[in-house]
Amino acid sequence: EEERIAYAIHVRGFTKDTYSKVKNKGTFQGVIEKIPYLKDLGINQIQCMPVYEFEEAGMRVNYWGYGPGYYFAPKSAYAKD
């Protein structure tokens, strides 16, 4: 059995920064662009922090997405278009 090396990522946070060197910053497509980099590190499994549709505004900004949400709807802000 192959050893599992997991890595937890936040789609927006992992790809939004200039140093991520991806074309599609802050998106699912940006994560796909980073797969070769992750593989080079030996990572063979990723766990994404919430990727479902959630309310970002309120009393405080909900950057991470934990809390109430639409669990079966992908986060539209993370879509390329």
Q: Has residue 12 got a pLDDT over 90?
A: yes
pLDDT at 67: 87
Stated pTM of the model: 0.86
pLDDT, one tens digit per residue, over 17-73 is 989 999 999 999 999 999 999 999 999 999 999 999 999 887 788 899 998 899 999
**CA-wise closest residue to 48 among 20, 21, 22, 74:** 74
Both tokens of residue 20?
């991520």
At residue 2 the predicted structure's pLDDT band, cuts being 50, 70 and 90, is: confident
